[in-house]
């Protein structure tokens, strides 16, 4: 059941400009037309601001994002996206059709659980000189599974012709792949979908190069 919008407060997103998980939430907010405030959490400065005891109260895993919304605190980007989808008007990010909804969750989970955690900053810091090869290996492994999956589900977007949570997850992961010099041309369906999505305003305004905490030399 959708919650009454009366009294709902402006969400606060604690995140990092280049965090793909934070970017997912920014995209979802933009697609739903939700105004929100941002509090930067620098994952590198001061040894990692996410590791402070103060931030740990917001997200016990000491990761980004953390979102304060409707008097509660949420972490884990997919949980945040599904919550705002269920409590706010605007385009559905999870389809009403159960088959398509399952496909959206399947694609989203593959990216959010099967690829991104293995190439995030915390893991790469443990890998030392091998970090680039490590990241490339797990992105390629994930894309080898994702490409045939998307061939079966894609229309204009990842699942049919409506934007969904799957698209919200795809674009930040392709951005990561490009950062780590993965040959995205090897995955034509992934490349085609990404090229379509990055031209949409919700994906442009939330891009890591356009955030309040984006370093000057990385700004668009």
Q: Check: CATH 1.10.443.10 for 12-91?
A: no
pLDDT of the residue at 129: 84
Residue-level pLDDT, tens digit, the chain, 220 residues? 344 443 468 999 999 999 999 999 999 999 999 999 999 999 999 889 999 999 999 999 999 999 999 999 999 999 999 999 999 999 999 999 999 999 999 999 999 999 998 878 878 888 888 889 999 999 999 999 999 999 999 999 999 999 999 999 999 999 999 999 999 999 999 999 999 999 999 999 999 999 999 999 999 8
Every domain of the chain with CATH number 3.40.30.10 lies at 12-91
Tokens of 63: 């990761």
Q: Check: CATH 3.40.50.1820 for 98-204?
A: no
Q: Name the β-bridge partners of 66.
A: 14, 75
What's the pTM value of the predicted model, to 2 decimals? 0.94
Every domain of the chain with CATH number 1.20.1050.10 lies at 98-204
In the chain, alpha helices (H): 20-32, 53-56, 77-87, 98-109, 121-127, 131-153, 165-179, 188-197, 201-205
pLDDT of the residue at 6: 39
């Amino acid at each position: 059941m959708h919650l009454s919008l009366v009294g709902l407060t402006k969400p606060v997103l604690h995140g990092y400009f280049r965090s793909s998980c934070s970017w997912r939430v920014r995209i979802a907010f933009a697609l739903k037309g939700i105004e929100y405030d941002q509090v930067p959490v620098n994952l590198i400065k001061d040894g990692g601001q996410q590791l402070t005891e103060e931030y740990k109260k917001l997200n016990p895993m000491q990761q980004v994002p953390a979102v304060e919304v409707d008097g509660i605190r949420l972490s884990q980007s997919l949980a945040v996206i599904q919550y705002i989808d269920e409590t706010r008007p605007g385009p559905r990010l999870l389809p009403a059709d159960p088959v398509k909804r399952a496909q959206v969750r399947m694609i989203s989970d593959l990216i959010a659980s099967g690829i991104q955690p293995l190439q995030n900053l915390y893991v790469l810091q443990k890998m030392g000189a091998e970090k680039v090869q490590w990241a490339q290996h797990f992105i390629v492994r994930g894309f080898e599974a994702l490409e045939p999956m998307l061939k079966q589900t894609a229309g204009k977007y990842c699942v049919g012709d409506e934007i969904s949570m799957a698209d919200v997850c795809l674009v930040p992961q392709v951005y990561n792949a490009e950062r780590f010099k993965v040959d995205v041309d090897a995955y034509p369906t992934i490349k085609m979908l990404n090229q379509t999505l990055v031209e949409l305003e919700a994906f442009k305004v939330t891009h890591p190069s356009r955030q309040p905490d984006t370093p000057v030399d990385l700004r668009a």
